[in-house]
Each structure stands twice: as C-alpha cells, then as structure tokens.
Amino acid sequence: MKLLFEKGNTGRKSSILPENDVPSVIPKCALRQKEMRLPGLSESEISRHYSSLAKRAHGVNDGFYPLGSCTMKYNPKINEETASLSGFTKIHPLQPENTVQGCLKLLYIAEKYLCEITGMDAMTMQPAAGAHGEFTGLLLIKAYHESRNDKKRDKIIVPDSAHGTNPASAAMAGFKVISIPSGKDGCVDIVKLKEVLGEDTAGLMLTNPNTLGLFDKNILEITKMVHEAGGLNYYDGANLNAVMGIVRPGDMGFDVIHINLHKTFSAPHGGGGPGSGPVGCKDFLKKFLPGKIVVKQEDDIYMLHKTEESIGDVKSFYGNFQVVVKALTYIIMLGKNGILETAENAVLNANYMRVKLSDCYDVAYDRTCMHEFVVTMKNMKKEHGVLALDIAKALLDYGVHPPTIYFPLIVHEALMIEPTETETKETLDEAICVFKDIYKKAEEAPEKVHEYPYNTVVRRPDEVLAATKPKLQYYMGSKNNTGKGVL
Ligand SMILES: *Cc1c(COP(=O)(O)O)cnc(C)c1O
C-alpha cells in the first residue's frame, strides 16, 4: 500500500482558504525559507487512504476482540456525542475558572463517582494511562514516607502475577522491586510475603484480579500484613471491570489505586484514542496529589486548588479531559445497578467461555475466574508442536482478534482470554466454535496451523525486527525507503 507521501500530485490541495485580509505580522526572517514538502492530495484521496487503512485493521467495531487484560469492550457511541459538545471542546485550559464552571463541575462529579466506586477519598485525573497512574501512585507513597522522615522504606513488593507495568513503574519511581511467587492456587504466597515484609517495605502493589484472572482470596490478610509492617497498599485497578459495584478496593485496605478509564469505563484505546489513568487515594495522601483539584464552594462555585505538598504535575492541566467526559457519560448512563450488572456480565461471559473451552483447551488455573482466564498450550506444543502463537495467527483468518499471548509469564504458552461483557451469547458461541475448530486442526494437521494466517494482508511479520528496528521515518524520493533520500 502506498503512503500518503507517495500519492497525489504537486499543487493539489484539499482545502479552500479565503484570501488573507489581515496584515502579516510575522517578520520575514521567521518565515519558512523553503516550501514544506507536503503531499499534494485531494480530500477524496485522503479519505480513501484512511478508509483502506481501517479495513486492514481489526477493531472493536469489526468483531470479537478478546485481548486479555486490555478490556476491548464496545464503546457506546453516546460517549462520543457528549465528548464532542462544543462546551467541552472549544475551551482553553487557561480560561478563568468562572468561564468554565461546567467543565469543572464535570471533573468534580467524575471524581466523586469514581471515589464512590473505588472506595477512595480523592482522585486526580492527570495521569494519561494506567502505567502513568502507577508511577503517580508510587510517588504518593514515596512522598508519604518522606513526609514522616521514614527514609529506609525503599522496597516495593510485587507478586509475580502482577501486570508487567507494576515492577517497571516501581523501578521508575526509584524503588527496589521485590518479586514474590504465587502459590499453587494462583494467589499471593502468604508465607513468602511475610518473609519479605520489613522496615524497608514502602508498599505492596497488587494487581487484582491478577493476570491469571483470579481474585486473591487472602486480600484482607495481605493488606493487613503490609500495614502492620508500616507499608502502604497499592491496588492496580486497571481491570476494575470484574469487581466494580461489587467490592471496593478502599474497603479492602488499599491506600492508593489507579483505574483505566480507557478499559473499564469504555473510552476507546489502542489505536482508537488517548487514555486516562486516574489515581485515587485515601484522605491522608490527598495533600500529595498532583495537579489541581476541583473544589466546590458553598455557593456552588467550582474552583481549582493546588495543595502545598503536591508531588507536582505529572501531565499538563487536567489530563485527557475528553476521556473523562466519555467515562462520566458511561457511568451516568449505566447508573448504580448498571455498573454492577456490567461487572457481573464480564465475569459471567469469561466463565462461560472458560467452561466451554475446557473440553479441549487446558485452563491454567481451572477455577471460577473473574473477567478473564488463561489457557496453556504447553501440552499441545509438546505433542503436536503447535504454539500459542499459531493459535493466535489462526484466529485472524476467522475474523477473531487473538487473545493476549505469552502473558502472564508464569504460564507457559499462555493465551489470555477476556471476552468482556459487551459480547452476546451468540458471539461467544461462535468464537468458542472457532477456538475448538482450530484446536482440532492443530491436532490433525499441525503443519497447516503453522502457516496461518492465509488470508490477511500481512501474514507473519518479523516481530523482533519490527520492534527493534522500526521504520519510523520516510525518506522522500528514496527507493524502498532505504534512508538514501532526503528526510
Ligand atoms: C492495561 C493494564 C495496565 C497498564 O495500563 P496502560 O494504560 O496500558 O498503561 C496496568 N495494569 C493492568 C492490570 C492492566 O491491565
């Protein structure tokens, strides 16, 4: 497929601008000396270009997308409608507070609802993603210990069933990461936890449900142990889809949480849009929150407030504001019961698929799961040489987006399946048939399964090369973008 730079013709334009009727105030020396090399394209060429790109990708609007841990649920279109209202789009973050009262009220209500759902006392909308929220939350924990002059607490405990971003964020925030193994039941090994807790414990990061899709049954004991050792408890709530409306991390002994509005609260992500990873905390940590907090005065006027002990900004202004608009729309549309039903259906759908697939697939921890479950291709690999990767590639030919593969790391040849609550029983049944069909093929004709996909535009790209030497620049006039042309 040609790039936009390889299409069109010089001199062609897709916009008609009126004559400039104001004097130019830019001094000549500041003006561009040479014309910019932009492709000359008509509007129809641009429109077709992006449509054909979209056809080559698989999105939530195209079909089933059970990408574990990513919650690729359907995002209701009404979210887009509210987020594009001019009162939310045609504003500037530096406008005086009295001219943006509606937006401040929106942030205020969103904070209240998200605090209600998570059991926290305050929240910042600044972090732009889940991992960014983790980093922010850990800085709150750091600020807390420093404010008490408790300098030796430099270790964060992270179970091996945590999301991969957890240890990375802890290291980024300057902590030493202590990894502890999971027990046979897939939950935190309490004995090991006890061994590593001590006066140097800054806190524990718990992904719950963990990456095996399991709710840690010892959660109350775990948070109590960490508190008794003087540490704080961090809840990775990126996958709140499974528990919202049912239990609240704030009631289970957690002091800090991040949530992913772009997963649980139905804002598009991946190629679809920016994220938002609000961080909530208990009252005693509120003073450290980044950015400005919206406060409501007695006369119903909303003002911005920055605390003196704030850790500073982690992003400009109020984070990705439009994502908050989408999330709040979603929460209001669902209401209290809808939030609960959403979680129940996410769990029901995952368990339905788990049980149906366990006829042939090996479920890694075969017990009631939360919103997702993990199957292992370990035996399949041993017996037929078919890998998790082969199954994933085969699914593409059936119009199903593959599950997350080779994650979590503690399961060999893992396929992590998260159907989400927005799928119907019919869709799940079709997908189950597809999974089973591929399994049968893998047993009967493994050599054919190695060749999948047969029908996609790109079949099996060299993923290592793509990750280590991505071509991110385009050299004008060079053959095959070899770098011999002009940047
Ligand atoms: C997705 C996810 C994250 C990271 O969120 P990003 O927005 O991708 O940075 C962290 N923890 C868990 C459990 C997740 O599923």
Kindly tell me if the per-residue pLDDT of 487 is higher than 60: no
The phi and psi torsions of 90 (rounded to 5 degrees) equal -100, 50
Indicate which CATH number applies to the domain containing 273: 3.40.640.10
Q: Tell me the average pLDDT across 257-278.
A: 91
**Residues 330 and 347 occupy one common structural domain:** no
Q: Tell me the average pLDDT across 83-107.
A: 96
**Residues 329 and 418 occupy one common structural domain:** no
Say how many Å lie between the CA of residue 258 and the centre of ligand 1: 9
Say how many Å lie between the CA of residue 238 and the centre of ligand 1: 5
Indicate which CATH number applies to the domain containing 413: 3.90.1150.10
**Residues 113 and 253 occupy one common structural domain:** yes
Is 268 part of any domain?
Answer: yes
**Token digits of residue 357:** 């697939």
pTM: 0.92
Q: Tell me the average pLDDT across 74-86.
A: 96
Confidence (pLDDT) at 169:
98
**Residues 397 and 449 occupy one common structural domain:** yes
**Residues 148 and 286 occupy one common structural domain:** yes
Say how many Å lie between the CA of residue 352 and the centre of ligand 1: 24
**Residues 270 and 126 occupy one common structural domain:** yes
Confidence (pLDDT) at 342:
98
Say how many Å lie between the CA of residue 22 and the centre of ligand 1: 49
Q: Tell me the average pLDDT across 94-107.
A: 96
Q: Tell me the average pLDDT across 450-471.
A: 91
Kindly tell me if the per-residue pLDDT of 377 is higher than 60: yes
Q: Determine contact, residues 269/263, Cβ cutoff 8 Å.
A: yes
Kindly tell me if the per-residue pLDDT of 436 is higher than 80: yes
Confidence (pLDDT) at 485:
60
Q: How many CB atoms lie within 10 A of CB 268?
A: 21
**Residues 25 and 123 occupy one common structural domain:** no
| CA distances for 259 relative to 119, 428, 458, angstroms | 12, 27, 34
Kindly tell me if the per-residue pLDDT of 97 is higher than 80: yes
**Residues 212 and 328 occupy one common structural domain:** yes
pLDDT digit string, tens, across residues 119-175: 999 999 999 999 999 999 999 999 999 999 999 999 999 999 999 999 999 999 999
Is 216 part of any domain?
Answer: yes
**Residues 293 and 318 occupy one common structural domain:** yes
Q: How confident is the model at residue 24 (pLDDT cuts 50, 70, 90)?
A: confident
Strands of 315-460, DSSP E: 362-363, 373-376, 404-405, 414-417
Cα–Cα nearest to 73, from 278, 280, 240, 206: 240
Is 61 part of any domain?
Answer: no
Residue 365 falls in which region: left (phi positive, over 0), alpha (psi -120 to 50) or beta:
beta
**CA pair distance 90, 200, nearest whole angstrom:** 49
Q: Tell me the average pLDDT across 467-480.
A: 81
Confidence (pLDDT) at 5:
86
Q: Which atom of ligand 1 is nearest to the CA of 262?
A: 7
Is 63 part of any domain?
Answer: no
**Residues 174 and 311 occupy one common structural domain:** yes
| CA distances for 341 relative to 74, 334, 347, 373, 440, angstroms | 15, 9, 10, 20, 35
pLDDT digit string, tens, across residues 213-248: 999 999 999 999 999 999 999 999 999 999 999 999
**CA pair distance 190, 185, nearest whole angstrom:** 12
Confidence (pLDDT) at 75:
94
* Percent share of the chain, pLDDT over 70: 98
Lining residues, ligand 1, CB within 6 Å: 69, 129-131, 163, 165, 207, 236, 238-239, 260, 275, 277
Is 473 part of any domain?
Answer: no
Domain boundary among 334, 351, 366: 334
* Total number of domains constituting the chain: 3
**Residues 44 and 179 occupy one common structural domain:** no
Rg of the chain on CA atoms, in Å: 25
Q: How confident is the model at residue 36 (pLDDT cuts 50, 70, 90)?
A: confident
Kindly tell me if the per-residue pLDDT of 478 is higher than 80: no
pLDDT digit string, tens, across residues 306-348: 888 999 999 999 999 999 999 999 999 999 999 999 999 999 9
Say how many Å lie between the CA of residue 131 and the centre of ligand 1: 6
Say how many Å lie between the CA of residue 205 and the centre of ligand 1: 13
The amino acid that residue 244 corresponds to is M
Is 326 part of any domain?
Answer: yes
Confidence (pLDDT) at 367:
92
Is 219 part of any domain?
Answer: yes
Confidence (pLDDT) at 38:
85
* 236, 276, 374: residue to mutate for ligand 1 pocket, most atoms within 8 A of CB: 236
Confidence (pLDDT) at 11:
84
Confidence (pLDDT) at 443:
97
**Ligand 1, atom 3: closest residue by C-alpha:** 130
Is 215 part of any domain?
Answer: yes
Structural domain of 151: 78-334
**Residues 417 and 310 occupy one common structural domain:** no
Average predicted confidence (pLDDT) for the chain = 94
Q: Determine contact, residues 343/241, Cβ cutoff 8 Å.
A: yes
Q: Tell me the average pLDDT across 83-98.
A: 95
DSSP 369-398: -SS-EEEE-HHHHHHH---HHHHHHHHHHT
